[in-house]
Amino acid sequence: MLSQDRICDYIDVISKSAISVVVYSNKAAASQIFELHNTRGVLLTEIEKVKALLMKYVYLHNGDADVTVIQKSFAKVFELEEKAADVSFRGEMSLDDILAHHLRAVDDGGKQESYSQPQSVEGDNGCVAYVRKRLATFVDNKNEGVIYAKSLANELAKTMHIVCNIFVAQDALDPLIGDVILLDQRRSMIFLLRYFRALDFITEHPNHKLLKRWESFLFLWDCHDVFYNMKSGKKDSFSEIFDGIGKGHTQVSDLLAGYYSGKINFAYRDYSIRRSNGEGENILITGLAEVFLDYIARNEDSLLHRAYNWGHWHSRYKYMLYKYEIEMTDEQTIPKATARIALRDLFKNSNVTLDHIVPHELEWKELSKNGAHDNNLEPDDEMQAEAIWKEICKSIDGIGNLVLLSHSDNASLQNIAPSKRASEYRRFKLESISYSEVATWKCPSDWSDADRDPWQVRIQERGARILTMVKNYVTDDETWQA
């Protein structure tokens, strides 16, 4: 229903609209006009451009019948687009993203070569350019090109069904499906699309151990400095995993375990390090678990005190905190499913950020041990506040002082003290472990109580808990033993 309050908006939309009226004699001309409009500024999504490209190709080389096949396949795609817009997996990626994942994973039904193309969604290495190049390979056999075009459209409709229906249903059985998409969307979409196409949904459910191994391996494979300054050779063997998962999951699970243990080289440079055994001997340590644990041990001080400044690790921190919130939450107090839903919502549309529990700037009254209610502190009180702040700053960027929050909520909190933030976190419907912990981070005026610890102690203790949880989670014996 139109609103009088929005008349100016309606006029603005109409005044900026462009309408063309063209009479054409065949669908080839119509497709040509469609493509021309697109290049002259009528904005289309990548998936709409691919649809037009395929329709034009099949019409030019095989007539109306095959155009109808393309139209029907894309009708299924867009129908799911409308029905599934609010589904979590659909919310975390655009329709164009799904198209790019599909082309990398299965294309027209199989994928025997690289899983890296298209490199991006748009542009010279995007989806449209990829499909154009594929069609160009059929220059000497247009009938094969028509078969490819129809198969691509049909397989894309299957992918939309898998993403919008099967992923959602199966994630209810095992939330690791959605979790690995959060961890590494690009690789996990290839893995899962090929996995679910190979799975018999009638007799099989997702293999939890396989998914757990995949999640842990994704987190671990480059979470170290073994590859530092590597100048040549392959850094990974993901293509072997993707090839295998398209044929069945048993061998792939064993393959991941082999990579993890170091029995099979995953890269040009193996997962091995040399370190002292404490008796003066420099021994060789192999296997991804040992390499990772050694790396964390060597960098523990940085993680506990300066984590936020490691910008290249921010996405990893987000996932570490996500798993910490879920794994450490008391099911009796807050159901893990409830915590997971709230946290996943933060990740939609890349809306999640890292919030400092103790913010970088606080009013002096928040640092007063005397509980001052204004900024006019006594000299002794001010000196005490400065000393407190100096100690806090040693850990303020540590992982223990970071929590997940949306960009907008983060901005609205500004520079309020931790215990005051706790009620705001609950207002944002965030009620898992960290948001409950923060409620106990009282102000300096309460630190004299036996049950209260200074903020810097809380930061370091929480940071140590996070690191311990992550180390135990990704190197869990139950996950990796046969």
Q: Specify the pLDDT at position 272.
A: 72
Q: Specify the pLDDT at position 19.
A: 60
- Asked if residue 220 lies in contact with residue 228, where contact means CB atoms within 8 angstroms, the answer is no
The encoded tokens of residue 312 equal: 């290249």
Residue written as token pair 């069609």: 135
Q: Which residues contact 475 (CB under 8 A, 6 or more apart)?
A: 216, 220, 289, 292, 293
User: In this predicted model, what pLDDT tens digit does every residue of 276-290 receive, in sequence order?
Assistant: 666 666 667 778 888
Nearest CA to 164 out of 101, 95, 77, 90 is that of 90
Q: Give the number of other Cβ atoms within 10 Å of residue 254's Cβ.
A: 15
Q: Alpha-carbon distance 4 to 411, whole Å? A: 33
* CA distances, 220 to each of 261, 339, 379 (Å): 12, 24, 51
Classify the phi-psi angles of 2: left when phi > 0, otherwise alpha if psi is within -120 to 50, otherwise beta. beta
- 405 sits in which H/E element: strand 402-406
Q: Specify the pLDDT at position 378.
A: 75
Q: Directed axis angle between helix 455-474 and helix 288-298, to 10°?
A: 170
Q: Specify the pLDDT at position 451.
A: 66
* CA distances, 182 to each of 187, 188, 455 (Å): 11, 9, 31
For 86, counting Cβ atoms within 10 Å of its Cβ (0-12 exposed, 13-18 middle, 19+ buried), the class is exposed
Length of the chain: 482
Q: Alpha-carbon distance 418 to 435, whole Å? A: 10
Residue written as token pair 């970088």: 360
Q: Specify the pLDDT at position 106.
A: 93
* CA distances, 167 to each of 90, 161, 206 (Å): 10, 9, 10
Nearest CA to 328 out of 173, 468, 228, 428 is that of 468
CA terminus-to-terminus distance, the chain: 61
Q: Alpha-carbon distance 286 to 270, whole Å? A: 8
* CA distances, 29 to each of 21, 23, 32, 34 (Å): 13, 9, 5, 9
**What three-state secondary structure class fits 481?**
coil
User: In this predicted model, what pLDDT tens digit does every residue of 370-387 receive, in sequence order?
Assistant: 766 666 667 777 888 888
Tens-digit pLDDT string for the chain (482 aa): 566 556 555 555 555 555 665 565 555 555 555 555 554 455 788 999 999 999 999 988 877 777 888 999 999 999 888 776 667 777 778 899 999 999 999 998 877 778 999 999 999 999 999 999 999 999 889 899 999 999 999 999 999 999 988 888 889 889 999 999 999 999 999 999 999 988 765 456 778 999 999 999 999 998 887 776 666 566 788 999 999 998 877 789 999 999 998 888 887 777 777 766 666 666 677 788 888 898 899 899 999 999 999 877 888 899 999 999 999 988 777 888 888 888 888 887 778 889 999 999 887 778 887 766 666 667 777 888 888 899 999 999 999 999 998 888 888 887 888 888 888 888 777 878 888 888 888 888 888 776 678 999 999 999 999 999 999 999 999 999 87
Q: Specify the pLDDT at position 40.
A: 47
* CA distances, 165 to each of 3, 80, 158 (Å): 36, 9, 10
Nearest CA to 48 out of 74, 24, 27, 66 is that of 74
Strands (E), 248-368: 272-276, 282-286, 352-356
The vertex-457 CA angle with 451 and 461, nearest 5°, equals 95
Half-sphere exposure of 329 (CA within 13 A, CB side): 24
The vertex-385 CA angle with 381 and 388, nearest 5°, equals 140
Q: Alpha-carbon distance 479 to 394, whole Å? A: 36
Classify the phi-psi angles of 348: left when phi > 0, otherwise alpha if psi is within -120 to 50, otherwise beta. beta
Q: Specify the pLDDT at position 155.
A: 95
The encoded tokens of residue 19 equal: 């309408």
The encoded tokens of residue 62 equal: 């095989």
Strand-pair partners of 354: 404
